[in-house]
Amino acid sequence: MRIFVTGVSSGLGVETARVLVARGAEVVGAARDLAKARHATEIVRQSAAKAGSCELVELDLASMASVRACADAQLAAGKPFDLIIANAGVMMCPEGRTTDGFETQFGTNHLGHFLLVNRLAPLLRRGGRVVSLSSIAHRVADIDLDDPNFESTAYDPIIAYGQSKTANALFAVEFDRRHRDRGVRATSLHPGGIQTELGRYTDDVLRDRLIAALLATFPEGTRPLSLKTVEQGAATSVWAGIVAPAEEVAGRYCEDCHVAGAVHPQQDPGGVQSYALDPERAKALWAKSEELVGERF
C-alpha cells in the first residue's frame, strides 16, 4: 500500500506515518521544513527498517507554486497511491496572508490541499481513498463563500479556523461525489483535541473563547472537552483510511473511529453540523476554490 501524508514534521502526521509504515506501507510524507521533518520522522524510519518505507518531499501548502511543484514531481514519477491523508494545517493564527494572498487558514488548510489532492487524483488507484482532516471546530462557523478571505469581514482567528475546517469536510463530500464512479472515495474526520504544535498560536484567551463557542453547541450539562493523546488522534485517520469499509465512511464525517451523526442539542456532544456535509454547499465551495486557484478539475 502506498500512501501520501501531509504534515509529517510533527504531531499527528508523524504518528500517522509511523503506524502506517510499521504495518508495511510505503509512505510519502510531505512537509514544509524538510530538516525538521527528518528529525521528527526518525521514529518512522526506525519502523521502516522492519516493514514499510518513508520518503520525505517538500510541500508548503501556503504556496500554490510549491503545491504544484510537489504534485508535478509525483505525477512525473508516475507511482500510484492507495490513500492520501490531508493532515497538515494551521490553527487560530494571527491574521495573515499566504504567498498568493489568501487568508492564512483558508489558504493553507483548504486551498492548498484542494489543489494538491486534485492534482494527485490521477495517481489514486481504483479502491483508493482521500482522508481530509477537519475538526470539531467546524461547529463554530460555516464557510462564508462571499468572503472566504476576510477581505470585508473583521478577522476572527476562531471563526477563520472553523470556516477552514468546514471547508475540509465539504471538500471530501464533493471529491467523493466526483470520483466514486471510478471507485475512489473520500471522507473527513475530527481526530480529537490533542496538544500538538498545531496549537502554538492558541493562548489562554483564545482557548477559552473556542471552548465556550463549542460548548454552546453541546447538550446542556456536558462535561468540558477532554484531550486525546497523539496516538489516539491518529487512530481515526488510520481507521478511516484503511480499516473502515469505504461505503461506510464515504462522503461522511468521522470521529472516535466511527461515523458521526448529526449535531443534536439533546444528545451526546459529538456530531457534525449539517452545513459541513451539505452537497450543494460542497459544490459551491468547489467552484469558488477552482476560481481562486485558477484551475478546473
Taking the CA atoms of 10, 163, 98 and 290 in sequence, report the sign of the dihedral they define: positive
Closest CA to 59 of 48, 77, 72, 47: 72
Cell digits of residue 170: 465539504
Q: Give the total residue count for the chain.
A: 297
Cβ atoms of 243 and 22 closer than 8 Å: no
Closest CA to 108 of 294, 297, 293: 293
Cell digits of residue 204: 489562554
Residue 187 backbone phi and psi in degrees, to 5: -145, 165
Q: Which residues, in sequence order, are bridge partners of residue 293?
A: none
155 is catalytic: no
Q: Which residues, in sequence order, are bridge partners of residue 228?
A: 194
Q: Which of 161, 201, 253, 275 is catalytic?
A: 161
The residues assigned a catalytic role are 161
